């Protein structure tokens, strides 16, 4: 099966492309490399030194004998996109290629517009390319659990059956996104659902939680295959940031009370979930939604776990509660379903001490690359 991984130079996409290639899929990566450009613009760098994509792919081929094709360009450029698709002829299109940071989208008007244009237009271009020339391909699109927000009722997988004034219907689950980035994902979902209804396309929206970890079997094979690991206040995500902060003796940056509960998963499960979606495609006309996470944690409880794991390794870890730069509920109900992927056979890697140890060790190994001035959050959701 031929799989095009859009955004395959990024954190989730790189791990997924190698995993699928190793599993015998014929893989190509399409990426504009714009994420490397955004890092330069913000003067931030991944903790782990990542090689240029061409070198990464050459090393993969030298090590495994497996070739991954590369298309460098922007999916907002329809001509480039359709020519790449014609050349590769994918059976499945895995779409990771978006601006994915909530703080980046909240920097100012320009970054909000950039995020929504990049994400919504890019995704719409893919839908048109599929309608025009690849109507049988399966779109596997990375959405986010943050589309739902934190409602005071259980979160279903994409749809909810509602009875209202004596009538009943199954409708898209209500959305309450928490940043202009998260809003872009809601817009994407609406567009994909509509395209499935009117053109009979087949798509799976993977509403993924916050991803943690850095090692997968494939990225661990060689230093040149190492994955990115972001720790800065814009692109770094909660648990990855906490482990790096602990390793370098920086107090953990819990925003507000820390009662914010989110869905999490190990990057080794990200790659497996994507494969499960590809191997079990949606039907023609079906817009399928999977909630892609394995466990729920409050941010405060994660900080506590990192403090304990650090203490066991002899690190003295302090936990700080900063004024929350975001506008979000800090104490709330949160209970989300995630049975669709489990029913397809996902066997989760649960958060363990050994995972925390490995992240802490990784962070210690590369601590000389940490720019401490990039740790505290600088982007605010609040009206000045």
Catalytic one of 148, 173, 181, 231: 181
Among 150, 208, 260, 338, binds ligand NAD (CB under 6 A): 208
To the query of whether residue 144 is one of the catalytic residues in this protein, the response is yes
Verify binding: residue 182, ligand NAD, rule CB under 6 A.
Answer: no
Angle at CA of residue 102, ends 295 and 16, nearest 5°: 55
Q: Is-contact 350 209, C-beta < 8 A? A: no
Q: Choosing among ligand USQ, ligand NAD, none, which partner's interface includes residue 34 (Cβ < 5 to 8 Å by kind)? A: ligand NAD
Among candidates 259, 256, 158, which has minimal Cα distance to 206? 158
Return d(Cα 311, Cα 216) in angstroms, integer: 26
Tokens 């949606």, located at residue: 282
Binding site for ligand USQ (CB under 6 A): 100-102, 144-146, 209-210, 237-238, 241, 253-255, 260, 262-263, 299, 326, 328
Residue 94 or 201: the one with the smaller Cβ distance to ligand NAD is 94
Helix (H) or strand (E) holding 5: strand 2-6
359 forms part of the interface with ligand NAD (CB under 6 A): no
Min dist. Cβ of residue 241 to ligand USQ (A): 5
The residue (of 33 and 327) whose beta carbon lies closer to ligand NAD is 33
241 binds, among ligand USQ, ligand NAD, none (CB under 5 to 8 A by kind): ligand USQ
Written as one string, the DSSP assignment of 15-68 is HHHHHHHHTT-EEEEEE--HHHHHHHHHT---SS-PPPHHHHHHHHHHHHS---
d(CA 146, CA 210): 9
Measured from the CB of residue 248, what is the shortest distance to ligand USQ in angstroms?
14
Q: Least distance in Å: CB of 361 to ligand NAD?
A: 21
In terms of DSSP bridges, do strands 295-298 and 261-266 run parallel, antiparallel, or are they unpaired?
A: antiparallel
CB of 175 to ligand USQ, least distance (A): 11
102 binds, among ligand USQ, ligand NAD, none (CB under 5 to 8 A by kind): ligand USQ
Catalytic residue, candidates 141, 148, 185, 294? 185
**Residue 48 a catalytic site member:** no
By CB under 6 A, is residue 294 in contact with ligand NAD?
A: no
Residue list 225-264, contact with ligand NAD (CB under 6 A): 228, 237
Record the tokens describing residue 356, joined without a space.
């925390």
Whichever of 18 and 169 has its CB closer to ligand NAD, that residue is 18
- The C-alpha R_g of the chain, in whole angstroms, comes to 20
Please return the burial class of 172, using the count of CB atoms within 10 Å of its CB with bins 0-12, 13-18 and 19+: middle
Catalytic residue among 144, 150, 216, 219: 144
- Scan residues 37-76 and list those touching ligand NAD (CB under 6 A): 74-76
Smallest separation, CB 82 to ligand USQ (Å): 27
Cα distance between residue 80 and residue 82, in whole Å: 6
- DSSP H or E segment with residue 169: strand 167-172
Please give the Cα distance from 91 to 112 (Å, whole number). 33
257 C-beta neighbours (distance < 10 Å), count: 13
3, 4, 13, 334: which one binds ligand NAD (CB under 6 A): 13
C-beta of residue 65 within 8 angstroms of C-beta of residue 109 = no
The token pair that represents 94 in the structure block:
């895995």
- CB nearer ligand USQ, residue 57 or residue 254: 254
**Is there a catalytic annotation at residue 366?**
no
Backbone angles phi, psi at 49, to 5 degrees: -75, 115
Least separation in angstroms between residue 12's CB and ligand USQ is 9
Contact between 100 and ligand NAD by CB under 6 A: the answer reads yes
Q: Hey, which residues are catalytic here?
A: 144, 181, 185
Residues that bind ligand NAD (CB under 6 A): 7, 9-13, 31-35, 74-76, 96-100, 118, 122, 142, 144, 208, 210-211, 228, 237
């Amino acid at each position: 099966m031929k799989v095009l991984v859009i955004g395959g130079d990024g954190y989730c996409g790189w791990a997924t492309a190698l995993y699928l290639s190793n599993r015998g899929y014929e893989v190509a990566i399409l990426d504009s490399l714009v994420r490397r450009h955004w890092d330069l613009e913000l003067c931030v760098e991944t903790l782990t030194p990542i090689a240029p994509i061409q070198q990464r792919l050459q090393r993969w081929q030298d090590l495994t004998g497996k070739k991954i094709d590369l298309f460098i360009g922007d999916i907002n450029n329809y001509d480039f996109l359709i020519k790449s698709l014609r050349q590769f002829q994918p059976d499945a299109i895995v779409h990771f290629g978006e601006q994915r940071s909530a703080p980046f989208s909240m920097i100012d008007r320009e970054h909000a517009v950039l995020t929504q244009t990049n994400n919504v237009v890019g995704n719409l271009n893919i839908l048109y390319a599929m309608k025009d020339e690849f109507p049988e391909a399966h779109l596997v699109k990375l959405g986010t659990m943050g589309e739902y927000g934190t409602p005071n009722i259980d979160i279903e997988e994409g749809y909810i059956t509602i009875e209202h004034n004596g009538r009943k219907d199954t409708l898209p689950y209500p959305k309450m996104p928490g940043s202009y980035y998260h809003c872009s994902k809601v817009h994407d979902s609406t567009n994909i659902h509509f395209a499935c209804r009117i053109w009979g396309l087949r798509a799976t929206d993977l509403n993924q939680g916050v991803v943690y970890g850095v090692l997968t079997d494939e990225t661990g094979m060689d230093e040149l295959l190492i994955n990115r690991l972001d720790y800065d206040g814009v692109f770094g995500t909660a648990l990855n940031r906490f482990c790096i902060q602990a390793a370098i003796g920086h107090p953990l940056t819990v925003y507000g009370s820390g009662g914010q509960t989110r869905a999490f998963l190990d990057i080794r499960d990200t790659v497996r979930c994507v494969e499960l979606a590809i191997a079990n495609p949606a039907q023609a006309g079906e817009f399928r939604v999977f909630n892609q996470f394995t466990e729920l944690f409050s941010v405060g409880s994660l900080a506590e776990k990192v403090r304990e794991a650090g203490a066991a390794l002899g690190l003295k870890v302090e936990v700080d509660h900063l004024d929350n730069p975001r506008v979000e509920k800090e104490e709330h109900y949160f209970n989300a379903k995630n049975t669709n992927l489990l029913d397809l056979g996902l066997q989760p890697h649960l958060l363990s001490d050994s995972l925390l140890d490995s992240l802490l060790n990784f962070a210690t190994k590369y601590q000389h690359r940490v720019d401490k001035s990039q740790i505290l959050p600088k982007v605010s959701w609040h009206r000045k």
